[in-house]
Amino acid sequence: MSKSLTFKAIETKFDGYRFRSRLEARWAVFFKTLGIEYHYEPEGYSIEGIAYLPDFYLPHINSFIEIKGQEPTTEEELKTHLLAVYTGKPVYTFPGNITFPREKGHRGFYCDTCPYLFRYSRTDHTVGYDFEDVYQDILVLLQKIDEASFTWEIFDDHFVLQQKPGSYWYPTAYDEYLLAMQHQANTAKDIFSLIQEHEEELVDLLAFDSDWITEFAPSEHFPGFRWCECSKCGHIALEHFILGSMYHEAETLHKKCLSTDKGNYHIDSPRLMEAYTAARQARFDGRGGI
């Protein structure tokens, strides 16, 4: 009787950690070469009954990093989405092997953004961010409302839900219709319970203001992020680049640069190329060390 072949990632020791795969260890070499502080598998989470242990946490960008040998599955995308929503920290997914920024086949990274509130002026549309003290459970509730195809308004000091225009679900069979209605009823019941718990806070946050309009930005899943370095201050960050223009204008403005003149972010600066090279060329011995 023949035995089936099994494949297992090789555990690798580096920098005091035991990584579950060499790809994770190579990204650790990348971070180490750039002097980026990182924590490997710092803490596990249980979110909506789903257990999740993210790969890396990078304090300097207050973000989680998830390493995948291939494109993430729908289940994996759900996990990174929930982690961003419930922790209030962006989650970046790095799919595939490490490649140079301009190398053929280089793909950008995915980012699950965090939900947040912002205000803009009714007169000149100036954006103001002044919601740093909003509790995360309020943002989670607003995310649930958005995903359930509801919108909201404040009426007579009450938080009122409305169905979004054009959000009707068209079933292909009566049984599917019943299931959809049951799901919507269960979701609404859960949301209404949370609204009752937090209604006073919601009204205080979202009530009409004669000068400002308050908007909610839900968590979203974006492709096209890349490592880059500011030409002025040397800041290393993950920034979004439009795929179509990457090979023509592979830079964007670092608006928060500490220098007098704003710097440009570059995806292939000498420091970054050194880090990519070190990660790709890292050789690990048979015992999993470097």
Q: pLDDT tens digits, the chain, 290 residues: what are they?
A: 445 455 565 678 898 999 999 999 999 999 999 999 999 999 999 998 899 999 999 999 999 999 998 999 999 999 999 999 999 999 999 999 999 988 887 778 999 999 999 888 888 878 777 777 778 999 999 999 888 888 888 888 888 888 777 655 454 555 555 555 555 566 677 888 888 889 999 998 888 888 888 889 999 999 989 999 988 888 899 988 754 343 334 456 676 776 667 778 889 999 999 999 999 999 886 555 55
pLDDT for 178 equals: 53
Say if residues 83 and 112 touch (Cβ distance below 8 Å).
yes
- Supply the pLDDT for residue 255: 67
Please tell me whether residues 213 and 224 are part of one structural domain: no
pLDDT score for 172: 52
d(CA 92, CA 89): 10
Where does a domain end: 196, 217, 238? Answer: 217
Closest CA to 24 of 61, 78, 65, 79: 65
Which are the contacts of 198, defined by CB distance < 8 A and separation ≥ 6?
Answer: 137, 138, 141
pLDDT at 260: 64
Q: Are residues 225 and 101 in the same domain?
A: yes
Please check whether residues 110 and 224 belong to one and the same domain: yes
Kindly state whether residues 124 and 185 are assigned to the same domain. Answer: yes
Give the pTM.
0.84
Residues 233, 95: one domain?
yes
Residues 131 and 272 in one domain: no
- Whether 199 is covered by a domain: the verdict is yes
Among residues 164, 190, 217, the one where a domain terminates is 217
Range of the domain at 131: 116-217
Element (H, E) at 229: strand 221-230
Give how far Cα 283 sits from Cα of 9, 14, 24, 30, 53, Å: 16, 11, 13, 13, 27
Quick one: pLDDT at residue 179?
54
Q: Where are the beta strands (DSSP E) in 82-220?
A: 91-95, 109-112, 116-121, 127-128, 150-155, 158-163, 212-217
Same domain, 270 and 259: yes
Element (H, E) at 46: strand 45-47
Identity of the amino acid at 102: R
Same domain, 213 and 261: no
In-domain check, residue 7? no
Is residue 185 located within the same domain as residue 275?
no
